[in-house]
C-alpha cells in the first residue's frame, strides 16, 4: 500500500496484502498511528504526533471561514467510574455499548526507565514473558485460549510504564479478565521460556537494525540523553539482553508488579457493577506490598551544536534526526507546545512539510514531535532524503527553526492550528480502544480528571505570545544535535559546516 | 434525480459454538446514484460529532502499462495540489484550518481518499473534494515537485527497506504478463518519465464520476448529505468507461526461484503461490487458511518456525483480496544463525500437513472466531467502517457482501480447507525469493 504519508506501519497486516513483516513487537516509533496522531494526551512512547498548520500568505476568504463560530461544543463524556480495591488496585470503568466489544488495560507504573544499569530490556523481557505460561498453562495453551476467543492479550513496556491490553468480544469479558489475572499474578517464568524469549528479543534487535527510521531514533536518544535511562533502547542492546537471567525477571516482577503500583481501565459493552464484582473476585487477592520506585535523574540536554554520523554505507537515503530536550507530560507549557508544534511540524500544512516537502521536494516525510514523558522527553525533527541532498535538507530545517523562533506565528496560523486540534480531538475518542488509551494516560500522568472535557478550552486559551515564548524555549536552534544515519563518506562533507562531527560505526555497542 | 435509496439493514450474527450466543451489530447503509454515475453509500452514526468521507476510484496499478508504472500513486499525490476554486496548497490548508484531516492510499486495484472532520463542516468538505474531481489543476511545477516526493517514498519503502524490496522481487518473478508484476509505487525510471500529458489523460479516464464511489459514515442526515453531494458533484460530466484490464496471467508451470543479494541483518524468505480472484468462492476459505497458518502465536507457522524450532524471528502470510488472481504470500525473517533452506522445508511441511490432515474442530472454530471478531473491530470507528464499506463495494461489486461475510466464514469446513490448500498451494505454482545478506 502506498500512502500519501505514512500513518501506520509496523506489524500491521493489511487486507490488501501489502508486505508486512509479522513482527511481534510493533515499533511505535516512526509509526504515526492515526490515533496517536490525534491524541493530545500522547501515548508515552509514541511521539506526540500533534498537528499541523502554517498559513503564511493566506487569502481573505479563508479568514472568513476561520472566523465562523466554533464548530463543535466541548466533548462531554461520562466520567469513568473509579474504585480503589482494599489492596490498592485502582479500577476505572466506562461503559460504551455501541459494539459488543470490551477493551481493558492493566498499567504497571514501571517500565524501561526502571531497568537497572546494565540490564536494559528487562522491563520488556518481563512483560513479554507474562503470556509465556501462567496459572498452570503452558505458553501454547495460553495463546490458544486467547486466540480461540478471537481476542488478544498484549504486554509491553514503554519507558514510564508497562501495559497489558486485552481486547475481547464483551460476552468473553470474564474469561479475558481471568486470563489477565493469571498472567499478571501467576506467571510461570520457566527457565526454558526465559531463554526462548531472550533469544527472540535478540533476533528482534537484529531485525530492528534494518529499520532506518527506528535506528536513527535509537541513536538520537543515545546521544541526546546520554546515561539517563531515556538514552537506553527500551528493548535493550545485544549485550544487555544477552546478560538477562530468570532471576532478573522474577525480581523485576516482584518489585514492581503490585496492585498498589497498578491500575486497570475497562471500556466497552459492560455493566459497571458486574465488572467491579469480577475485578474484585479476580484481583482482590493480589497482595499489596511496598514498592520503591527509583527516582529518575533530571536530564540535561545538549550544549552547542553537535553532529553525529552513523555509517550505513548501503543506504541511498539519509535518515535525519534533529533536536534537543522537550518537556515532561505534566508541564504547564504542554498546551502551548502542542499548538506551537502543530504549526511547526505536524500534518500536511506544517511549516516543515510546506517548505521541505511541498516547495522543495526534498523528502517524503518530515515532522516534529515532543514525546512527553514523566521526565523531559525529546524535541525531535525526523526526516529523510537522498544522500546528495542531506546538507540542503538540514539547511532548510534550520532556516525554518530560525524563522519560527524569531517571528512566532500569525493570528491566522494560530487560529487554524487551534481549529484543527479541536476538530480532530473527537476522533481520538472513537471506540473503546481509543478511550482506554486516553483514560490510561490521564491516570498514569495524573492529569486533571476533566482533561477530555476541557481539552478544547485549553487549546483555545493559547495565545501568540505563548507560542513565541515556547518556540524560543523548546524549538532548539543554537544548541542542538543532528544525527544522520546513512552513507558517511557521501554525507560528511555536506554536514561539517553545522558543527563538530563525530563519526560512529553502525554496529558498535549493539 | 436520485434513485430511491435501497435500505439494507445488516445484522451481523456471530455464532459461537462454545457459548451458544449470537452477537448483533446493526449497520445500516443506504445507496444512492447520481445521473452522472456517481455512487454514494451513506451510513449514519450520531455518537460523536464527526464524519469520515471517503472517495474510492476504480483505478490502481492494475490499470497501468509498462512505461507508466506508478502513475496511479503519483497521481494520488497530485490530487492534493490544487484545483480551480481551491488553488495550490489550499486543499490541506482549508481542510485542516477547519478541523479536518485528509490522507489517501493507492493499491493495485483502487485509489482511496478520505477526510475526517467535525460534522458541521460537511458542506465545506464536499465543496473541496468535488472541486478537485471537477477541475483539478495539473501543472508542470506540481508534477515536478511531487515526482521527487514519490521517488523519496520509493526510496524509503522499497530501496532502503528489505521487506519492500523482497516483495518487489517476488511479484516481479511470479507474474510474467499481468500488471501485478510491479509494485504500486512503480519503477524509478518510469516515475522519471511520466509526463503531464499522461496525467491529464489518466485524470480524464479514471477520475470520472462514473468510476467513483463516495462512502460517508458519521454524524449527518442522509437526505441532506445526498442533496449536498448532488449539488456539488451533479454537474461533473461522466466519461466513457475505462478500458477493462484484459491481461490474463498464464498458468505457472514449475517453481521459480531467485536469490536477492543486499546488505541486511537477517536472511529472509518470501514465497508466493498464485491464488484466485477476490470474486472466487474460495476467497473466504483462504482467509481461514491464512489465519490457521499465520495469525497469532497459536498459529501453525508461528508455533513451528518461531516457537518450537526457533528458526525464525517472524513469519507472516498475506492472502490479499485482488480483482484479478492474486498472490498468496508468506514472509519469514530467518534467525541469523539459521539456513533459509531449512526454514523453507519447515514451511512446506506445514502446508503439506494442511493438505493431508483435516483441521481439528476447535482449531477451525478458533480461526473463525478470530476473523469474526476482527470484522466487528473493523467497525469501531467511522473511518474503519467507511473504508470497509468501500472496499467491499469495489472488490465484490456490492458492499452488502459484508452482510454475508460472517456466514461465509462460518460455512468453511475442514474439507474446504484441505481442498483449497491442495488447489492453490502447489509446488508448481510456487515462486521463492531468498535474501542472502551481503557483508557490508
What is the tens place of the pLDDT at every residue in A299-324? Answer: 889 999 999 999 999 889 999 999 99
Residue that has been written with the C-alpha cell 518473478 in this structure:
B173
Residue numbers in A near B96 (CB within 8 A)? 51-53, 347-349, 416, 420
And the C-alpha cell for A143?
A: 495463546
Nearest to A384 among B118, B156, B318 (CB): B156
**What is the extent of the structural domain holding B80?**
34-233
And the C-alpha cell for A307?
A: 553532529
Residue B380 belongs to some domain of the structure: yes
* Higher pLDDT pick, B243 / A11: B243
Domains A34-60+298-430+451-505 and A81-283 alike in fold: yes
**What is the share, in percent, of chain A residues with pLDDT greater than 70?**
85
Query: By CA distance, what is B297's nearest residue in A?
Result: A143
Indicate yes or no: CB of B327 within 8 angstroms of CB of A17. yes
Q: Average of pLDDT values for A49-69? A: 26
Range of weakest confidence among A126-140, A197-211, B239-253: A197-211
Q: Does the pLDDT value for residue A70 go beyond 50?
A: no
The reported pLDDT for the residue numbered B203 is: 97
Nearest to A433 among B25, B327, B380 (CB): B380
Nearest to A1 among B23, B105, B327 (CB): B105
User: Which residue in A141, A142, A151 sits closest to A101, CA to CA?
Assistant: A151
Contact predicate A70/A441, CB 8 Å: no
What is the tens place of the pLDDT at every residue in A81-122? Answer: 999 999 999 999 999 988 899 999 999 999 999 999 999 999
Residue B384 belongs to some domain of the structure: yes
Domain co-membership, B216 together with B277 = no
What is the tens place of the pLDDT at every residue in B235-264? Answer: 999 999 999 999 999 999 999 999 999 888
What is the tens place of the pLDDT at every residue in A176-195? Answer: 999 999 999 999 999 999 99
Of the spans B28-37, B141-150, B366-375, which averages the highest pLDDT? B28-37
DSSP letters spanning B23-75: EEEEEEEEEEE-TTS-EEEEEE--SSSEEEEEEEES-SGGG--TT-TTHHHHH
Q: Is B85 helix (H, G, I), strand (E, B) or coil?
A: coil
Q: How far is CA A151 from CA A104, A209, B41, B153, B377, in A?
A: 11, 31, 30, 35, 11
Q: How far is CA A425 from CA A36, A82, A344, A418, B333, in A?
A: 11, 24, 19, 11, 38
Burial of B415 (0-12, 13-18, 19+ CB in 10 A): exposed
Q: Does the pLDDT value for residue A36 go beyond 80?
A: no
Residue numbers in B near A98 (CB within 8 A)? 47
**What is the share, in percent, of chain A residues with pLDDT greater than 90?**
73
End-to-end Cα spacing for chain A: 32
Domain co-membership, B280 together with B428 = yes
Residue B2 belongs to some domain of the structure: no
Indicate yes or no: CB of B333 within 8 angstroms of CB of A362. no
* Higher pLDDT pick, A351 / A78: A351
- Provide φ and ψ at B239, rounded to 5°: -130, 160
For A386, other C-beta atoms within 10 Å of its C-beta total 21
Q: Average of pLDDT values for A36-61? A: 25
Contact predicate B288/B368, CB 8 Å: yes
| Confidence bin at A347 (pLDDT 50/70/90) | confident
The reported pLDDT for the residue numbered A67 is: 30
Number of cross-chain residue pairs from A and B with Cβ atoms under 8 Å apart: 310
Q: Does the pLDDT value for residue A75 go beyond 80?
A: no
Residue numbers in A near B80 (CB within 8 A)? 4, 348
Indicate yes or no: CB of A4 within 8 angstroms of CB of B101. no
Nearest CA of chain A to the CA of B314: how many Å? 5
Residue B249 belongs to some domain of the structure: no
Write the CB contacts of B189 (distance below 8 Å, at least 6 apart in sequence): none
Residue numbers in B near A365 (CB within 8 A)? 152-153, 156
Positive or negative torsion for Cα A144, A148, A150, A153 = negative
The reported pLDDT for the residue numbered A334 is: 95
Nearest CA of chain B to the CA of A216: how many Å? 14
Domain co-membership, B228 together with B308 = no
Indicate yes or no: CB of B89 within 8 angstroms of CB of A354. yes
Q: What is the CATH number of the domain that holds B58?
A: 3.30.830.10
Q: For an interface test with B, which of A1, A4, A32, A201 has the most B Cβ atoms less than 10 Å from its Cβ? A: A4
Q: Does the pLDDT value for residue A30 go beyond 70?
A: no
Contact predicate A158/A27, CB 8 Å: no
Nearest to B156 among A21, A55, A364 (CB): A364
Structural domain boundaries in chain A: 34-60+298-430+451-505, 81-283
The reported pLDDT for the residue numbered A41 is: 30
Q: Does the pLDDT value for residue A146 go beyond 50?
A: yes
Contact predicate A432/B380, CB 8 Å: yes
Nearest to A4 among B103, B294, B296 (CB): B103
Domain co-membership, B74 together with B146 = yes
Residue numbers in B near A199 (CB within 8 A)? 310
Q: What is the mean pLDDT of chain A?
A: 85
Q: Does the pLDDT value for residue A37 go beyond 60?
A: no
d(CA A70, CA A422): 9
Look at domain A34-60+298-430+451-505 and name its CATH class.
Answer: alpha beta
The reported pLDDT for the residue numbered B404 is: 86
Write the CB contacts of A367 (distance below 8 Å, at least 6 apart in sequence): A32, A49, A345, A346, A347, A350, A352, A353, A381, A382, A383
Look at domain A81-283 and name its CATH class.
Answer: alpha beta
Residue numbers in B near A364 (CB within 8 A)? 149-150, 152-153, 155-156
And the C-alpha cell for A233?
A: 533502547
* Higher pLDDT pick, A24 / A156: A156
The reported pLDDT for the residue numbered A1 is: 61
Residue B26 belongs to some domain of the structure: no
Indicate yes or no: CB of A3 within 8 angstroms of CB of B19. no
Residue numbers in A near B372 (CB within 8 A)? 150
The reported pLDDT for the residue numbered B169 is: 97
And the C-alpha cell for A262?
A: 497498578
Angle of helix A212-225 relative to helix A191-208, nearest 10 degrees, comes to 100
d(CA B360, CA B371): 17
Indicate yes or no: CB of B379 within 8 angstroms of CB of A171. no
Prediction ipTM score: 0.88
Residue B424 CA, distance from chain mean position:
21
Write the CB contacts of A332 (distance below 8 Å, at least 6 apart in sequence): none
What is the tens place of the pLDDT at every residue in B31-73? Answer: 999 999 999 999 999 989 999 999 999 999 999 999 999 999 9
* Number of domains forming the structure of chain B: 2
- Provide φ and ψ at B75, rounded to 5°: -65, -35
Last residue of a domain, one of B198, B233, B268: B233
Indicate yes or no: CB of B149 within 8 angstroms of CB of A363. yes
Domain co-membership, B204 together with B80 = yes
Domain co-membership, B195 together with B301 = no
Indicate yes or no: CB of A427 within 8 angstroms of CB of B264. no
Indicate yes or no: CB of B145 within 8 angstroms of CB of A2. no
Residue numbers in A near B317 (CB within 8 A)? 22
Indicate yes or no: CB of B374 within 8 angstroms of CB of A315. no
Nearest to B149 among A144, A357, A429 (CB): A357
Domain co-membership, B316 together with B217 = no
CA dihedral A118, A119, A121, A127 (to 10 degrees): -160
Amino acid at each position: 500500500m502506498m500512502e500519501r504519508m505514512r500513518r501506520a506501519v509496523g506489524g500491521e497486516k493489511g487486507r490488501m496484502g501489502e508486505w508486512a513483516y509479522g513482527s511481534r513487537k510493533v515499533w511505535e516509533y516512526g509509526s504515526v498511528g492515526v490515533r496517536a496522531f490525534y491524541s493530545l494526551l500522547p501515548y508515552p512512547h509514541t511521539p506526540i504526533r500533534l498537528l499541523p498548520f502554517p498559513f503564511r500568505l493566506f487569502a481573505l476568504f479563508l479568514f472568513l471561514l476561520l472566523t465562523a463560530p466554533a464548530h463543535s461544543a466541548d466533548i462531554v463524556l461520562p466520567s469513568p467510574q473509579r474504585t480503589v480495591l482494599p489492596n490498592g488496585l485502582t479500577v476505572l470503568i466506562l461503559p460504551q455499548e455501541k459494539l459488543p466489544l470490551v477493551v481493558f488495560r492493566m498499567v504497571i507504573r514501571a517500565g524501561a526507565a526502571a531497568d537497572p544499569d546494565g540490564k536494559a530490556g528487562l522491563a520488556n523481557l518481563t512483560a513479554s514473558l507474562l503470556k509465556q505460561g501462567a496459572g498452570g498453562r503452558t505458553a501454547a495453551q495460553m495463546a490458544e485460549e486467547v486466540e480461540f476467543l478471537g481476542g488478544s492479550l498484549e504486554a509491553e513496556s514503554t519507558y514510564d510504564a508497562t501495559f497489558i491490553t486485552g481486547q475481547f468480544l464483551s460476552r468473553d469479558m470474564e474469561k479475558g479478565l481471568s486470563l489477565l489475572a493469571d498472567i499478571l499474578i501467576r506467571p510461570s517464568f520457566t527457565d526454558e521460556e526465559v531463554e526462548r524469549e531472550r533469544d527472540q528479543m535478540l533476533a528482534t534487535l537484529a531485525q530492528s537494525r534494518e529499520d532506518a527510521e527506528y535506528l536513527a531514533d535509537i541513536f538520537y536518544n543515545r546521544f541526546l540523553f546520554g546515561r539517563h535511562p531515556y538514552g537506553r533502547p527500551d528493548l535493550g542492546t545485544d549485550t544487555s539482553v544477552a546478560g538477562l537471567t530468570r532471576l532478573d525477571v522474577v525480581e523485576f516482577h516482584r518489585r514492581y508488579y503490585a496492585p498498589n503500583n497498578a491500575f486497570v481501565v475497562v471500556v466497552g459493552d459492560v455493566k459497571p457493577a458486574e465488572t467491579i464484582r469480577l475485578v474484585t473476585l479476580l484481583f482482590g487477592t493480589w497482595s499489596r506490598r511496598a514498592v520503591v520506585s527509583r527516582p529518575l535523574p533530571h536530564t540535561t540536554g545538549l550544549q552547542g551544536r553537535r553532529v553525529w554520523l552513523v555509517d550505513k554505507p548501503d543506504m541511498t537515503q539519509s535518515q535525519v534526526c534533529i533536536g534537543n530536550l522537550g518537556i515532561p507530560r505534566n508541564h504547564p507549557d504542554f498546551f502551548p507546545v502542542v499548538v506551537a508544534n502543530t504549526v511547526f511540524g505536524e500534518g500536511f500544512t506544517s511549516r516543515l512539510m510546506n517548505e521541505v516537502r511541498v516547495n522543495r521536494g526534498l523528502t517524503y516525510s518530515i515532522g516534529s514531535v515532543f514525546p512527553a514523558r514523566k521526565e523531559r522527553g525529546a524535541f525531535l525533527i525526523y526526516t529523510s532524503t537522498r544522500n546528495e541532498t542531506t546538507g540542503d535538507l538540514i539547511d532548510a530545517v534550520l532556516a525554518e527553526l530560525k524563522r519560527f523562533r524569531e517571528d512566532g506565528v500569525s493570528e491566522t496560523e494560530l487560529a487554524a492550528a487551534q481549529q484543527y486540534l479541536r476538530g480532530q480531538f473527537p476522533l481520538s475518542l472513537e471506540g473503546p480502544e481509543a478511550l482506554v488509551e486516553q483514560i490510561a494516560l490521564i491516570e498514569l500522568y495524573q492529569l486533571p480528571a476533566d482533561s477530555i472535557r476541557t481539552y478544547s478550552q485549553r487549546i483555545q486559551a493559547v495565545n501568540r505570545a505563548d507560542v513565541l515564548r515556547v518556540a524560543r524555549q523548546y524549538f532548539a536552534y543554537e544548541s542542538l544535535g543532528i544525527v544522520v544515519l546513512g552513507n558517511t563518506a557521501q554525507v560528511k562533507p555536506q554536514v561539517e559546516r553545522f558543527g563538530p562531527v563525530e563519526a560512529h560505526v553502525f554496529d558498535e555497542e549493539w | 434525480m436520485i434513485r430511491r435509496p435501497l435500505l439494507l439493514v445488516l445484522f451481523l450474527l456471530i455464532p459461537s459454538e462454545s457459548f451458544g450466543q449470537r452477537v448483533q451489530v446493526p449497520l445500516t447503509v443506504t445507496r444512492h446514484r447520481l445521473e452522472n454515475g456517481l455512487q454514494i453509500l451513506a451510513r449514519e452514526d450520531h455518537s460523536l460529532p464527526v464524519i469520515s468521507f471517503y472517495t474510492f476510484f476504480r483505478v490502481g496499478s492494475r490499470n497501468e502499462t509498462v512505461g507508466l508504472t506508478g502513475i496511479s500513486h503519483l497521481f494520488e499525490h497530485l490530487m492534493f495540489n490544487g484545483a480551480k476554486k481551491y488553488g495550490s496548497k489550499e486543499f490541506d490548508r482549508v481542510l485542516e484550518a477547519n478541523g479536518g484531516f485528509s490522507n489517501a492510499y493507492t493499491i493495485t486495484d483502487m485509489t482511496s481518499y478520505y477526510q475526517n472532520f467535525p460534522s458541521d463542516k460537511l458542506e465545506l468538505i464536499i465543496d473541496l473534494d468535488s472541486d478537485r474531481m471537477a477541475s483539478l489543476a495539473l501543472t508542470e511545477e506540481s508534477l515536478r515537485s511531487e515526482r521527487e516526493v514519490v521517488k523519496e517514498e520509493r526510496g524509503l519503502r522499497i530501496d532502503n527497506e528489505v521487506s519492500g524490496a523482497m516483495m518487489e522481487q517476488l511479484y516481479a518473478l511470479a507474474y510474467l504478463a499481468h500488471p501485478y508484476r510491479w509494485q504500486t509505487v512503480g519503477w524509478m525510471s518510469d516515475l522519471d518519465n511520466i509526463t503531464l500529458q499522461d496525467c491529464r489523460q489518466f485524470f480524464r479516464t479514471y477520475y470520472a464520476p462514473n468510476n467513483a464511489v463516495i462512502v460517508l459514515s458519521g454524524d449527518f442526515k442522509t437526505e441532506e448529505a445526498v442533496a449536498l453531494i448532488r449539488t456539488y458533484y451533479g454537474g461533473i460530466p461522466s466519461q466513457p468507461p475505462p478500458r477493462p484490464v484484459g491481461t490474463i496471467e498464464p498458468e505457472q508451470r514449475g517453481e521459480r526461484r531467485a536469490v536477492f543479494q543486499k546488505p541486511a541483518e537477517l536472511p529472509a524468505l518470501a514465497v508466493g503461490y498464485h491464488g484466485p480472484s477476490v470474486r472466487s468462492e474460495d476467497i473466504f476459505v483462504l482467509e481461514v487458511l491464512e489465519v490457521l497458518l499465520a495469525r497469532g502465536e497459536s498459529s501453525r507457522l508461528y508455533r513451528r518456525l518461531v516457537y518450537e524450532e526457533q528458526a525464525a524471528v517472524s513469519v507472516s502470510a498475506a492472502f490479499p483480496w485482488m480483482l484479478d488472481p492474486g498472490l498468496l504470500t508468506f514472509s519469514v525473517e530467518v534467525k541469523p544463525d539459521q539456513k533459509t533452506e531449512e526454514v523453507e522445508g519447515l514451511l512446506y511441511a506445514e502446508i503439506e500437513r494442511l493438505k493431508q490432515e483435516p483441521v481439528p474442530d476447535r482449531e477451525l472454530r478458533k480461526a473463525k472466531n478470530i476473523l469474526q471478531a476482527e470484522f466487528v473491530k473493523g467497525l469501531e470507528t467511522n473511518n474503519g467502517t467507511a473504508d470497509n464499506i468501500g472496499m467491499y463495494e469495489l472488490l465484490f461489486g456490492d458492499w452488502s457482501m459484508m452482510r454475508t461475510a460472517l456466514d461465509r466464514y462460518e460455512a468453511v469446513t475442514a474439507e474446504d480447507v484441505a481442498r483449497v490448500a491442495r488447489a492453490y498451494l502447489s509446488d508448481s505454482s510456487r515462486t521463492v525469493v531468498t535474501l542472502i545478506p551481503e557483508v557490508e
